[in-house]
Amino acid sequence: MAVPRSEYLSSVWRDGIFDKKVVFCTGGAGTICSAQVRALVHLGANACIIGRNVEKTERMAKNIATARNGAKVIGIGAVDVRKIEDLEKSVARCVKELGGIDYVIAGAAGNFLAPIEGLSSNAFRTVIEIDTIGSFNTLKATVPELIKSAAKNPNTGTNPSTGGRIIFISATFHFTGMPLQAHVSAAKAGVDAISASAALEFGPRGITSNIITPGPIWGTEGMARLGSRDAEKSGVAFKHVPLQRYGTVKEIADGTVYLFSDAGNYVNGEVLVIDGGDWRSPSGMGGTTTYPDYLLDGSFVRPSAQKAKL
Ligand code: COA
């Protein structure tokens, strides 16, 4: 069943602004990335979404295609962003079936809560490999197509339909440091650094590279892993956020449309934080329990117990 536009896109954007464009998105079956792609498809783009789970990815592709009559959305499953060959094959299929790649969203990520003492070297490495190396691999595999797209659709300041854009999905944890998130903080700091370097290396060829950093967003796997149902029910979870609420996937999709649209042509090497001001709020894991109690009371010392809950 088609998802109502109001759930993934504001009314301010004009239909057709992404006609004939193609978006390639890793982690595209996830809650946030699927909303981003759905918004772009609604506004004219075709898409390839990439995921690990074949069935989930193909099912989501079909569902996203309902956002616009005639939309082509391909779901490519069994892809691990840690393997560059997987991504290269996906890019080749996307180009063969949809004609090229104009926009990329590097969204695949892995996360769990764990204190440094409960984090094995392999657990740390796993998140670095998925988030940082996976983002690098996504850039590396798609950049030849982005270069072609930017050459065809130049970023002149007057061309309303540019191509050659990449957005990496990051986090705010490394801005301040975050308990239970040393692995993700390190991984996402690396993602931000890759994006900044890409902005400098590929800007001269008309490509823009930016970060979108979602804060706490309703209904996401991230919040299922990081948030607390009890704190959400009582409202305590929202007290940490200056706007006193979680965000919606629509608010992340709107930021994506902005950065890929004519309105975002001159934005390059930036970090767009969409979090209601959350990262500026005093420390703590938004509403779980009080800092530093959860570090001292043993809540997170047993990884196996935590894994079982997810
Ligand atoms: N606490 C501590 N360590 C944990 C953990 C937890 N909650 N969950 C996994 N690990 C450790 C494992 O024990 C293992 O380390 P070890 O070999 O020393 O025991 C290591 O992480 C790798 O786990 P594994 O299950 O083999 O990795 P994977 O590649 O199958 O899964 C994860 C990757 C761990 C990131 C998994 O959570 C995942 O697949 N996530 C994808 C979806 C997701 O996280 N979405 C949220 C986005 S915000």
CATH of the domain at 210: 3.40.50.720
Q: Which atom of ligand 1 is nearest to the CA of 111?
A: 44
Annotated catalytic residues are 170, 188
Nearest CA to ligand 1 atom 42: 110
The CA–CA distances, whole Å, from 269 to 154, 165, 194, 259 equal: 18, 11, 10, 11
Buried b (16+ CB within 10 A) or exposed e, 82-100: beeebbeebbeebbeebeb
Q: Which atom of ligand 1 is nearest to the CA of 221?
A: 46
Per-residue pLDDT tens for 8-24? 999 999 999 999 999 99
Closest by CA to 240, choosing from 273, 282, 274, is: 282
pLDDT value, residue 296? 84
How many angstroms does the Cα of residue 222 sit away from the middle of ligand 1?
13
Q: Which atom of ligand 1 is nearest to the CA of 184?
A: 48
Out of 56, 111, 112, mutate this one to test ligand 1's pocket (max ligand atoms within 8 Å of CB): namely: 112
Per-residue pLDDT tens for 193-205? 999 999 999 999 9
Per-residue pLDDT tens for 117-171? 999 999 999 999 999 999 999 999 999 999 999 999 999 999 999 999 999 999 9
How many angstroms does the Cα of residue 127 sit away from the middle of ligand 1?
7
The CA–CA distances, whole Å, from 57 to 52, 63, 186 equal: 8, 10, 28
pTM of the model: 0.93
Total domains in the fold of the chain: 1
Q: Which domain holds residue 154?
A: 5-306
End-to-end CA distance of the chain: 28
CB count within 10 Å of CB 233 equals 9
Amino acid present at 82 = R
